[in-house]
A and B are shown apart, each in its own frame.
Chain A
Amino acid sequence: MIRNCILIVFLALSTTAIYAQNNAINAGEKLTYTASYNMSGVLTDIAQVTMETSKVQTSKATLLRLKCTAATYSKWDSFFKIRDLYESYVNPSNLTPYLYNRDVNEGSYFKNMKYTFSHSSNTVKSVMKKKNDYVENNNVKINSGTKDIVSTLYSMRILDYKKMSVGTQKTFNIIFDNEEVKGIITYLGKETISTAIGRKECYKLAVGSSEANVLQGKNSNFVWLTADENKIMVYGKFKIPVGNGELKIKSASGLKN
């Protein structure tokens, strides 16, 4: 369930605007969320999701590290402990990914997935590791502009929603588990909502996917991005196979604008 939640949230925050310029994301930004399960209005907090950015210096380039972690609250740890780490190393100006790492630890389940992007040949070298030293190497052909889930998540924030009219749809490609997933986001207009960081005017987006088992139903998954220059996600509401999930912002620091 958590894995699907994370995928949905990441899909929810994806975009086709791969060549848009980054005017919203800085190194040193930290966003913290609470992931909850909602049953008839009664919320149960499940995990904390953190999204951080930092600068990474190599001898050839300066990159931006986009890191997302998900960790269950201590009360859940004895039942189902989750410690997930997703990271992507991207070009800071247009968020094109070069290296992606996904380390999943959920209960007794472990999986590590690493993608190395080659944008000139439109391929991704993938290395998957599982329990008992299982290693699988693959070379995956991708479409031009396909990104990993973390960089697409951040890329959504560099879209220009001011120019969009209500009902505008965007499709996008994400590589996940060695497969390309096609997603659709629909701009639904502005809405003002109350959050832990204050009352915010937001862009409301509906999210859909070609993967029917990931997103249940049409227009039942929504995200709210602040309608300012930072465009941070403050609230996410999504339908999952076993009910409804919510992602609420807890704190935000190091914002660019």
Chain B
Amino acid sequence: MKKLFTILAVITSFLAIIFSVLPISNLAIFPAIAALVFGGVAFYLSKKAGEVKKIIQFSFLLTTCALTLTTYKAFFIKTEVENTEVLDEKEVQFEEEAIEELENLDFEDFEIDESELESINLDN
């Protein structure tokens, strides 16, 4: 039993540290909680048996690192969009192409009541 909880604590603490360095760092909280629970049980059972293995303390250390990194990323790293130059260029290019294509279209069903059009502000 003691061995099982020790192994589970180590696996979940490794998962927590892996999650914490990925963009899904917020999700590291789940394996981190599991690691704390498994590690706690393993620690209790080991202490009862009179021998606490270093690996349990190591899993606690990993979990603490994962939680610290996750918290830091959640509060101090701003989520923003970068490298949109290509997209911006495409937007302009598509508009130019679309205007060219629209010039060749027949708006046979384009019936707009002038009074309706007045109520729509297109000049922004």
Contact = CB atoms under 8 A, between A and B. Distances in A.
Q: Majority SS of interface residues in chain B?
A: loop
Contact of A120 (B30, B77, B103, B109): B109
Give the interface size bracket for A toward B. 35 or more
A175 to B, nearest CB: 17
Contacts of A63: 102
Contacts, number: 125
Contacts of B1: none
A59 B103 contact: yes
Interface residues of B, number: 40
Contacts of A99: 98, 101-102, 105
Give the 10 A-B residue pairs with the shortest CB-CB distance, closest first: A28-B124, A55-B122, A75-B23, A74-B82, A27-B122, A73-B79, A71-B81, A83-B87, A58-B102, A45-B79
B33 to A, nearest CB: 11
A85 interface: yes
Contacts of B2: none
Contacts of A55: 122-124
A147 interface: no
A256 B124 CA distance: 10
B49 interface: no
Contacts of A77: 82-83
Contacts of A71: 81, 84, 87
B112 A92 contact: yes
Interface stretch (A1-9, A18-26, A182-190, A215-223): A18-26
Interface of A: 21-23, 25-29, 34, 39-40, 42-45, 47-48, 55-56, 58-65, 67, 69, 71-77, 79, 83, 85, 87, 89, 91-93, 96, 98-99, 101, 103, 116, 119-120, 254, 256
A62 B79 contact: no
B76 interface: no
Nearest to A57: B99
A89 B121 CA distance: 16
B124 A27 contact: yes
Nearest to B29: A42
Interface in B99-124: 99, 101-103, 105, 107-110, 112-113, 116-117, 119-124
